[in-house]
Amino acid sequence: MKGDSRSKGTNNQKRILAKQIQNLNKHLPKKKKTLKELLKEEKPSLKTKDNEKILLEKKELKKISEKLPNHFHNKLKIPIYIEAGKKFGKGSYRIKGKAEARLIRRLLDKEKDISKKEIFLNRIEVRKIRNQLRTTTKYMFTVDLSEITNKKKNEMGRTKRR
């Protein structure tokens, strides 16, 4: 019985935390669009999860298209998410996706490892990217829910030993 109440508590914590993260990420679009799609639009935009409109600057889209080979235009999804989360370490961020990582490496003059499917950035690099791509990048907040389970297990282990 006791085990059941502990796991319920952990599940409740996970559910609450997941809801908080969803609220933090309301500014993200319901659906991303490819660079190719957005370049065709007269006034490129996206709808957020809370039904706001994100207007994208044409000059940013053009800059991105010039930095990437044409075959990536249909693969690169906008906005590019800059993931912030404890699992990356303090002051570290991640951008996922082969086309996305390649673009970021080009913008930061980091041509090494252009085939990798993700890139990790520090705060200074994120600031440089955000200065260049204000409307086409968005912060996304993440949390590893297994951290809660592991933290709970560690706390329970300490209380049992006392």
What is the 8-class DSSP label of residue 60? H
Cα angle 135, 141, 147; round to 5 = 165
pLDDT at position 162 is: 47
pLDDT in tens, 44-75: 999 998 899 999 999 999 999 999 999 999 99
pLDDT in tens, 124-162: 999 999 999 999 999 998 877 665 555 545 554 554 544
pLDDT at position 113 is: 67
What's the whole-model pTM score?
Answer: 0.77
Cβ(94)–Cβ(120) under 8 Å? yes
| Total number of residues shown for the chain | 162
d(CA 149, CA 15): 12
